[in-house]
Amino acid sequence: MPRFARILLIAVGAVLGAFVVAVLILSVVGGKKIERRFDVPLESVALATDSADLAEGERLSAVLGCDECHGANLAGSLLIDAPVFAVLPATNLTTGEGGVGAAYTAADFERAVRHGIDREGRPLMIMPSRDFSHLTDQDVGRVIGYVMRVPPVDNPLGPRQIGLMGKIITSFAAAGLFPAYAIDQAAPHVTSVSPTVSAEYGEYLARPCTGCHGLDYAGGRIPGGGPDAPPAGNLTPDPTAGIGSWTEAEFVRAMREGTRPDGSAIDTAMPWEAFSRFTDDELGALWLFLRSLRAIPGDT
């Protein structure tokens, strides 16, 4: 074999060897992050028990999008079925076969909702707890009270399975897949908030919107949405790129009917049907908050 060919083979072998070693290291690092146990004390919240609070818990669960992943009956669904990346079920929350409802206490559910960790303290994958970590004890108690009373549904989905690519991505971007890494786990929680038509209350209601629209509410590519996912709209009061030219009535119509001021339909990736369950006062508060934001130009 010519000397040049030998050198080339050695070089290619060295590169491939280094690549294999790097993949193995990243896989191990990612696997450890996936199996990490977060030491978060159990926190008790007063559960909703009367019909009015339970009804409010059902409404809040819809507004927060619980049924988008867990299904209308909260019996779970298969979110991701890509073994190289992950096989990820959205948990069956009921007490039926395959559900966690029989084993989870209210405190366990609280940690899942506001801390993004399961009963054993492991981080939950893609559970949007970063958007829920600010929720008050009262609202969390209402949601959990409702969830713990939904009828049992038998729907065993099996455990999650994180593939090689999932582990590699987790090794350097854990917070993107496991929001528990992005949450201040020691932050105190507020008991309740006053539901007034104010920008302050609107900010509380709008926090879950940041998962798609960004911390500045200027929209853009949705994290984890994939290349074909439509961008999230710009919610700032910029008159061109955002909603600065909208009236409050047009904003309410968009949230209630999924229609822009020009009559075009809002993409169903925007869960306006869930948001249509906001009360008039809540939509008024959201409007005041969004109008108080700094206008940010850019494509919607």
Is residue 188 pLDDT above 70, yes or no? Answer: yes
Where along the chain do its domains lie? Answer: 51-182, 199-292
Relative to beta strand 77-82, strand 86-90 is antiparallel
Task: State the pLDDT at residue 262.
Answer: 93
Q: What is the pLDDT averaged over residues 279-298? A: 95
Q: What is the pLDDT averaged over residues 251-261? A: 94
Q: What is the pLDDT averaged over residues 273-277? A: 91
Tokens read off for 172: 């350097």
Least confident of 46-60, 105-119, 209-223: 209-223
Q: What is the pLDDT averaged over residues 205-230? A: 85
Q: What is the pLDDT averaged over residues 64-92? A: 94
Is residue 229 pLDDT above 80, yes or no? Answer: no
**Amino acid symbol at 292:** S
Task: State the pLDDT at residue 242.
Answer: 93
188 burial type by CB count under 10 A (0-12 exposed, 13-18 middle, 19+ buried): exposed
Task: State the pLDDT at residue 299.
Answer: 52
Among the listed residues 188, 225, 232, 226, the one whose alpha carbon sits nearest the alpha carbon of residue 209:
232
Q: What is the pLDDT averaged over residues 233-258? A: 94
Q: What is the pLDDT averaged over residues 269-293? A: 94
Average pLDDT taken over every residue of the chain: 92
**Amino acid symbol at 64:** L
Q: What is the pLDDT averaged over residues 69-86? A: 94
Residue with tokens 């105190």, as numbered in its chain: 188
Relative to beta strand 77-82, strand 161-162 is unpaired
User: Do 179 and 82 contact (CB within 8 A), yes or no?
Assistant: no
Which pLDDT band holds residue 183 (cuts at 50, 70, 90)?
Answer: very high
Which three-class secondary structure string do you get for 135-203? CCHHHHHHHHHHHCCCCCCCCCCCCCEECHHHHHHHHHHHHHHCHHHHCCCCCCCCCCCCCCCCHHHHH
- State the DSSP code for 262: T
Is residue 250 pLDDT above 90, yes or no? Answer: yes
Question: The pTM is what?
Answer: 0.89
Go through 192-215 and write b for each residue having 16 or more CB atoms within 10 A of its CB, e for each that does not. ebeeebbbebbbbbbebbbbbbbe
Answer CATH for 51-182 from 3.40.1130, 2.30.30, 1.10.760, 1.10.3470: 1.10.760
Task: State the pLDDT at residue 269.
Answer: 83
Q: What is the pLDDT averaged over residues 93-110? A: 96
* Percentage of the chain exceeding pLDDT 70: 94
Task: State the pLDDT at residue 300.
Answer: 44
Task: State the pLDDT at residue 154.
Answer: 97
Backbone angles phi, psi at 138, to 5 degrees: -65, -50
Please tell me which of 42-51, 109-118, 271-280 the model is most confident about, judged by mean pLDDT.
109-118
State the number of CA atoms in the 13 A half-sphere of 260 facing the CB.
Answer: 15
Is residue 5 pLDDT above 80, yes or no? Answer: no
User: Alpha carbon of 215 to those of 30, 87, 157, 206, 235: distances in Å?
Assistant: 26, 29, 33, 10, 11
Please enumerate, as own/partner, the contacts of 234-240 that have beta carbons within 8 Å and a separation of 24 or more.
234/296, 234/298, 234/299, 234/300, 235/209, 235/290, 235/293, 236/290, 236/293, 236/294, 236/295, 236/296, 237/290, 237/291, 237/293, 237/295, 238/295, 238/296, 238/297, 238/298, 239/295, 240/297
Which pLDDT band holds residue 91 (cuts at 50, 70, 90)?
Answer: very high
User: Do 236 and 296 contact (CB within 8 A), yes or no?
Assistant: yes
Which pLDDT band holds residue 16 (cuts at 50, 70, 90)?
Answer: confident
Tokens read off for 186: 């020691």
Is residue 83 pLDDT above 70, yes or no? Answer: yes
Which pLDDT band holds residue 87 (cuts at 50, 70, 90)?
Answer: very high
Q: What is the pLDDT averaged over residues 217-235? A: 82
Task: State the pLDDT at residue 18.
Answer: 79
Measured at the alpha carbon of residue 132, what is the angle toward residues 186 and 235, in degrees to the nearest 5? Answer: 125
